[in-house]
Amino acid sequence: MIRLRYPALPAGTRPDDRQVQPGRVIIITGAAGGIGRALVDTFAAAGDIVVAVDLPDSGVIELGRHLGQPHLGLECDVSREEEVVTLCALIESRFSQIGVLVNNAGIAPTMTATADTPVEDFQRALAVNLTGPYTMARETAKLMKPGAAIVNIASMAGLASNPKRNAYAASKAGLISITKSLATAWGSRGIRVTAVAPGYVRTPMVAELERTGKINATAIRCRVPIGRMARPDEIAHAVRFLASAQAGYITGSTLVVDGGCMSFNQPGRANPPKDAAPQAELSPPLEGTKARTVVVMGGAKGIGAAVARRFAANGDTLVIADVDGDAAVGLSGLLGDRHLAKRVDRTVESEVVALFEEVRERFGHIDVFVNGPGMSDTLVPPIEQVPAALKHHLDVNLSGAFTCVREAAISMRPGSVILNLGASCGLLPLGLGHAYRAYNAGIDMLTRCMAAELGPVGIRTATVAPGHIRTSSAIEWEKVAGMDQTRLRQLIPLGRFGGPEEVADAAYFLASSDACYINGSTLHVDGGWTASRDAGCLSELGGTNSTERTRGRITASRRRFPPRS
């Protein structure tokens, strides 16, 4: 059964008249629960129109009434296809289009042993957590235009296995896979599809389970490098970013919001036991107002320069370090007098150490360190790759990155952030680009190891993995190599290259207080390339068959891969 309560309308109008309202229309399923209510509050506070959806007798009708016009409360069981179809028809009668769907509705794991789990319970979890979100996405997408977004609430359980969670874990893993396939299928329509995978979240239900002794919250906190569970609003902030225009080149990605739990992989505890829930688990800390000190390695050109400009626009103080000292000085001068420019070769340990010593002496500490992109790879068959070339790439991109983050961590205090810029290995053929792939794998693991080690002292880490980004050096490379730009765009679900500013927006978010429970995660900013590869398909090529696509990739592979900086 679905019930829709319309707010009072002006005289002369009917409930089924479409209303053109300011702000986006946001559908949030599972809206009456812990994370759902945080999502409702977050989007409503941002000026969006919220259509809150939940089960009958969940209180969602009252929630919609409490929000007031033009928000709505709807009752619907998303596991029932006929109810979802009716729901979307009602929404269409009220609004001309939908801006965002947040698939949050779900049922929790039963924590029942495999031998004791009825198949009906397994099927119910799939119906609510997997089939329901798919049906909602299918019906809602019919009401969407380019620029719309779908964000699925998955779970860490869909990525990391645990006992007695068979149905729940399988449904969430399936939801992550569907996120990729829908992103690939709908990228050409301009509809982005992403997912957020929360770790342990202190919802009202979890708090009650802790109070009654049904879960061991102390043991959970000990396993999380940050030392606590997430607040529902921290999940909502991640969703809001992925649904925003600042995430316009992000699709198919799953952002893990788990405090670094998946990065801790050893016996024992990441943190000592705590007698009670930390204050940060109960309420958001007060926002700081002081400008941050931000060091951007490789910050003089391309993506690094865009990152520097984004932080400077926020009023932060920049230290722009680059092997091209003149370019660093030039950018620093454009940004303002308070910024510092330094020529630094990251492969020379003494230069890196001297940089951070000077920064500590001048500013006292570092709030954010961004490890900018390294050098590009030369694509040659394995039999032609000489060890010296491989070593040189790794010295610049991986050993140099390690030296930088080591010295940055020494200069940091609780609340600081380290961001590594890797790459989605966007258009590299699988058999080539050995050094580049090794570098990216190493950067990803470096981020996760640091998340486990530094999380307990209050330092977060994350990786931003750009795809094919239109920097000046990449454009020049394409001209020299004669790269077929049309062919490249066809390999990307969103059908276009990204801009350096889109990578900078992702980096800025990850360094913000809105991302304070993100630790050890990788965020792909690649137009859906990684998702399309993982899903086993590519975007529509207007009649071009798979053989022709493969031939285009092989042709591209014989050229030098474009630099990221």
Catalytic center residues: 168, 436
Residue 411: DSSP 8-state: T
Shortest CA distance to 528 belongs to which of 31, 175, 191?
191
Strands 366-371 and 149-153: unpaired
Verify cis geometry, omega within 30 degrees of 0, for the bond prior to 204: no
Give the other-Cβ count within 10 Å of 475's Cβ.
Answer: 13
Half-sphere exposure of 371 (CA within 13 A, CB side): 35
Q: For the chain, what is the largest distance between any 2 Cα atoms, rounded to a whole number of angstroms?
A: 79
Measure the CA–CA gap between 527 and 533, rounded to whole angstroms. 12
Measure the CA–CA gap between 309 and 334, rounded to whole angstroms. 10
Shortest CA distance to 184 belongs to which of 539, 427, 550?
539
Q: Residues 19, 22, 27, 30: is their CA dihedral positive or negative?
A: negative
* Bridge partners (DSSP) listed for residue 411: none
End-to-end CA distance of the chain: 55
Token code pair at residue 471:
């920097």
SS3 content of the chain, % helix, strand, coil (to 5): 45, 15, 40
DSSP secondary structure of 548-564: HHHHHHHHHHTSPPPP-
Measure the CA–CA gap between 496 and 374, rounded to whole angstroms. 23
Measure the CA–CA gap between 519 and 226, rounded to whole angstroms. 8
Measure the CA–CA gap between 555 and 549, rounded to whole angstroms. 10
Asked if 529 and 492 count as a contact pair (C-beta separation under 8 A), the reply is yes
Measure the CA–CA gap between 434 and 444, rounded to whole angstroms. 16
Token code pair at residue 452:
């486990």
Measure the CA–CA gap between 199 and 179, rounded to whole angstroms. 18
Shortest CA distance to 94 belongs to which of 37, 45, 143?
143
Please report, as a single letter, which amino acid is at residue 464. V
Torsion over CA of 122, 125, 130 and 135, rounded to 10 degrees? Answer: 110
Torsion over CA of 112, 117, 120 and 124, rounded to 10 degrees? Answer: 30
> What Å distances lie between residue 222 and 216, 225, 261, 272, CA to CA?
10, 8, 10, 6
The structure tokens 């000085």 sit at: 329
Shortest CA distance to 199 belongs to which of 158, 125, 258, 268?
258
Strands 412-421 and 521-525: unpaired
Strands 149-153 and 293-297: unpaired
